[in-house]
Amino acid sequence: MSSAAAEAYITPEAYIALERKAMVKSEYIHGEILAMSGASLAHTLITLDIATELNIQLRGSACKVITNDMRVRTGPQGSYFYPDVVVFCGAPQFEDNVFDTLLNPTLVVEVLSPSTEAYDRGEKFAHYQKLTSLQEYVLVAQDRIQVDHYRLTETQWVRQTFHASEDVLLLNSIECKLPLQDIYTRVTL
């Protein structure tokens, strides 16, 4: 590691300390803090509609829905992300007694932005795969009807892609159904 890289490296502990005081959210990967930009109207509506649908279906169950204000840590050496929608089942596990960093999501949903799509599909997904609790990962396009559903089957992730508003996404890990028409109901494409 060069001296410039060593100086730029930020420990996970330093990131958490900074993040807890910050006015805006940032993600953290490999010792680097990544600023998050604001979301478009379509992104916000899709996120809210997915969270609402899941929350209604999961009422009274052991699973809970949370949105992008809850940070998720992906491993002991720590990369930290703010997924758009997260579902955890059973007792939540947290990094510490501040209770703002979840360790055990069952489902993660990311609504894609043009500037982050490749990252969400690639490097970020690779980090999410380190979560032993994660069973499903969903990527939702905001500029077209397209939902990519990744489901862990024993040791490999299997992808299924949906393109029609009549399609229904089955989330087996949490026993929920998400009709694509409900995901995109308030978005003009």
Q: Are 70 and 82 in contact (CB under 8 A)?
A: yes
Indicate whether 184 pLDDT > 90. Answer: yes
Q: Is residue 16 part of a domain?
A: no
Q: Is residue 87 part of a domain?
A: yes
Q: Is residue 28 part of a domain?
A: no
State which residues form the domain around 58.
Answer: 39-183
Indicate whether 4 pLDDT > 90. Answer: no
Of 124, 144, 146, the C-alpha closest to 134 is 124
pTM of the model: 0.92
CB-hemisphere CA count at 13 Å for 22? 16
pLDDT tens profile 160-179: 999 999 999 999 999 999 99
Q: Is residue 6 part of a domain?
A: no
Q: What is the CATH number of the domain that holds 102?
A: 3.90.1570.10
Q: Is residue 85 part of a domain?
A: yes
In the chain, the number of structural domains is 1
| Mean pLDDT, residues 113-124 | 90
Q: Is residue 2 part of a domain?
A: no
Q: What confidence category does residue 1 fall into, taking pLDDT thresholds of 50, 70 and 90?
A: very low
Q: Is residue 19 part of a domain?
A: no
Q: Is residue 59 part of a domain?
A: yes
pLDDT tens profile 17-43: 999 999 889 999 989 998 888 889 999
Q: What confidence category does residue 3 fall into, taking pLDDT thresholds of 50, 70 and 90?
A: very low
| Mean pLDDT, residues 54-79 | 93
